[in-house]
Structure 1
Amino acid sequence: MRKSARIACLAAAGLLAATSLTACANDAASTAASGSGGKGDGKGEKVKIMVGGLDKVIYMPAMLTQRLGYFDAEGLDVELLSEPAGVQAETALVSGQVQGAVGFYDHTLDLQTKGKHVESVVQFSHAPGEVEIVSAKASKDITSPKDFKGKKLGVTGLGSSTDFLTKYLAVKNGVQTSEFSPVAVGAGPTFVSALQKGSIDAGMTTDPTVATVLQKKLGTVLVDMRTPQGSQEALGGPYPSSSLYMQTEWVDGHKATVQKLVNAFVKTLKWMSTHSADEIAAKMPADYSQGDKTLYANAIKSTLPMFTKDGVMPENGPETVEKVLKAFNPNIKNATIDLDKTYTTEFVEKAAG
C-alpha cells in the first residue's frame, strides 16, 4: 500500500540523511531533448516528459539528469519537452501527449478533485522555490501581502502553482481572491517586460528570472520561498513542489520503467547535494547562462536549498499543500482528498536501497 510505503520511507530517510536566463525562457518552450546526444538511441522504453519550463532552476533536475547521462545509464530513451507554465505540463500529461510531467506536486491534489488519478513518484523539493517580487514602481504601495488588494499580480498562468500560492498569500493576509487581479505573464522576458511596463504591480516567479530582475533593479523581494525556512514562514510548513508526477494507471502498468526514471533522478539529487552551484551550472546547456555565468550560478545557489537529497516526500508536506489549497480553492475546500493516492514512495525506497 502506498501509505505503508510512505511510513517505511520516512524511516529510511533518517538513514539517507548521514534557465537559460530570462532571455531564453521563450525559446525553452519549444525545446526538445532526447538522450545525451539529442537523438533517441532506442534503448529501453521511450518516455516523454513535459517540463513546466526546462530553463527554470526549480525544474533543473530534469535537464541535469540528462546531462549527467543518468537516463542513458538506466537504459532509458527520455525526451524532454518544455512548456512555460506547470499547468500546461499538467494538461499535456492528462491528455496523453506525454507519460510524465515535471511540475508542482499540488497539481495531483487539484486533479484528484476532477476525477484524475495522478501521483508524484519522486519529490525534487521541500520548498516552493518561488519568490514574490514587487515592482520598483510599486515598492512603497506593497510592503506585505496585506497590500495585494486592488493590485495586478503576475503569475505564470491561471491555474498554475504560482496562481495557487499567490491566492494563498492573499487570503492568509486578509485579502480575498476577488480583490486583486491575477495576470498571466509567464516567466523570463515576459515577466520582466510586465514589470517594466507596469502591467503588473508584483508577481511570483523563480530563478533565474529573480536574479535578472534584481540585477536590473526592476523590483525587490517581498516573500522568499526558496528555502525550507522561507516555506515555513510563508506557508506554515514544508511545501513539496517540483516533482515527477505521472498518471497512476500508467505507473501501475510500467513499474520497471518508472523505477529506472526514479533511480536516475535520485542519483541526480544526490549529485546536486555534493556539488557547488558553479559545478552544477557547468553541467547545464551553455546557452542557459546567456553570457553571464556568474549570474546563472548565483541563481542556482539561491535555489539549491529547496531540493531534497533523496527524492523522499517531506513529512507533513502533503498536509501543508492541502491546507494551502483549501484556503482559497472551493473545489478542494469542499472535497475529501486521499493524500496517500497523490504520491508514492515505492520507487524512491528501492532507489535508496
Structure 2
Amino acid sequence: MKTRDKFLLSAAIASMFAAAPAAQAADKITLMVGGYEKIIYLPAKLAEGLGYFKDEGLNVELLNEGAGVDAENEMLAGAVQGVVGFYDHCVDLQAKGKYIESVVQMAHAPGEVELVSSKQPQVKSMADLKGKTMGVTGLGSSTNFLTQYMMVKAGVPLGQFTSLPVGAGTTFIMAMQQDKIQAGMTTEPTVTRLLKTGEARVLVDLRTAEKTKEALGGTYPAASLYMPTDWVEKNKPTVQKLANAFVKTLRYINTHSAAEIAEKMPKDFYVGDKAGYIKALEGGKAMFTTDGVMPKGGPETVLSVLGSFSPNLKGKKIDLSKTYTTEFVAKVK
C-alpha cells in the first residue's frame, strides 16, 4: 500500500471513531456507612444488592465504619463523597462551621434501643444509671448524643455517668457480658441477639416513631445519606442518581416482606440466626421513610435534643434549612 493510501485509510479510521459516541464510564462514588450490617443502615447494602446503583450508571463502593462519627471524619477528610449515617451530624457540624446536608432522609426514627444488663435488676429508668458505664458506638456518635440527652433529661448531669465506645455487634455484646458496660445503646440485630439470650432487657425503645416521640419529644430523623453541601452543588447529576437509587430502595422496603428483604442481604448479616434477623427486620421496617423526604418537625426535634446538652451548640444560631434538601428526592420518578 502506498504511503498516501495508508494516510487516507488512517484518517478515515480516525474520523469513524471520532464520530462514534464515547462510552460513558459509570460515575465512581465512595460512600462510608456507619456499620452496614446494622438494620438502621440496611438501605445501603440493599440498594447495592438490588442493582439500583448500577441501574443509575453508578459505580458505588460502600466502605464500612462501625461508628458514625468516624464515617463523618472520613468524609470531612475527603476520603469519601458521602456518608450513610444519622442526620444529627448535619446539625452538629454546622455548629462547628462545616456545612453538610441530608440529601435522602431514610428513617424518621433512630432504630436504637437502650439496653440494660440483666445483672442490673435495680435499674428501672435512665436516672438509675447514674454512676454507671454506658456503651455507645463511639464518642461523638449519634448513640452518644442520644444517651447524653436521655441522661440529662432524667436529671443526671454530664460527668455523673461514663460513655464507653464499644462499637456494635459482637464487641458490644462482649462488653456487656464482661460487665465493662452496665447499659448501652445499640441497634438491630444486636438487640435481638442479647434479648434472645436473656443477657439484657429494653430500657428505652427508639425503634418506632411513636416510641421515639415519647422519649425525645418529637420525630427524630435518623439514618440518611448526607454529603458536603459544596460537593452536592458541584455534582447535582450524580447526587440525583444516588437519590433515585435510594428512593427506589425505600419503596422496595415498603412493598416487600422482611423475609423477602432478608434474602437480598449478605448471609453473614444473619449472624447464624436468619429467623432472628427477619424478626428484627419485621419490627424495624416502620422506621424507614417511603420517599426519602425529611419528616416535618424532625430537624427541630434534633436541634432541641442536641441543644439541651451539647456545648457545641451553646450560643450558636443553626440554619436548619441548610442541613437537608428535598431537591433530589422530589425529582425521583
Could you tell me the TM-score, scaled by structure 1's length?
0.87
Counterpart residue identity of residue 327, structure 1: S
Q: Which residue of 2 aligns with 1:343?
A: 324
Q: Which residue of 1 aligns with 2:93?
A: 111
Deviations 1:128-169 (A, max 9, x none): 1000000000132x1111112111111000000000000000
Once superposed, which parts of structure 1, at least 4 consecutive aligned residues long, lie more than 3 Å away? none
Aligned residue for 2:231, secondary structure, equals helix
Identity %: 58
Structure-2 separation of matches of 1:254 and 1:221: 43
Q: Which residue of 1 aligns with 2:275?
A: 294
Structure-1 separation of matches of 2:112 and 2:271: 22
How far the C-alpha of 1:42 sits from its partner, in A, is 8.0
Counterpart contact for 1:106–1:241, Cα < 8 Å: yes
Unaligned runs of 5+ in 2: 1-22
2:59 is aligned with 1:77: yes
Counterpart contact for 1:49–1:99, Cα < 8 Å: yes
Unaligned runs of 5+ in 1: 1-40
Structure-2 separation of matches of 1:249 and 1:116: 10
Counterpart contact for 1:325–1:333, Cα < 8 Å: no
Q: Which residue of 2 aligns with 1:138?
A: 120
Structure-1 separation of matches of 2:106 and 2:158: 29
Counterpart contact for 1:42–1:77, Cα < 8 Å: no
Counterpart residue identity of residue 139, structure 1: P
How far the C-alpha of 1:43 sits from its partner, in A, is 3.8
Structure-1 separation of matches of 2:142 and 2:250: 22
2:259 is aligned with 1:278: yes
1:100 aligns with one of 73, 78, 82: 82
Q: Which residue of 2 aligns with 1:54?
A: 36
Aligned residue for 2:73, secondary structure, equals helix
Whose Rg is larger? 2
Structure-2 separation of matches of 1:225 and 1:72: 33
Counterpart residue identity of residue 138, structure 1: Q
Structure 2 counterparts to residues 1-353 of structure 1, below 5 A: 43-140=25-122, 142-351=123-332, 353=333
Counterpart residue identity of residue 211, structure 1: T
Deviations 1:89-128 (A, max 9, x none): 1001100000010000000111111111100000000001
Q: Which residue of 1 aligns with 2:7?
A: none
Structure-2 separation of matches of 1:288 and 1:43: 31
Could you tell me the TM-score, scaled by structure 2's length?
0.92
RMSD: 1.1
Structure-2 separation of matches of 1:60 and 1:333: 34
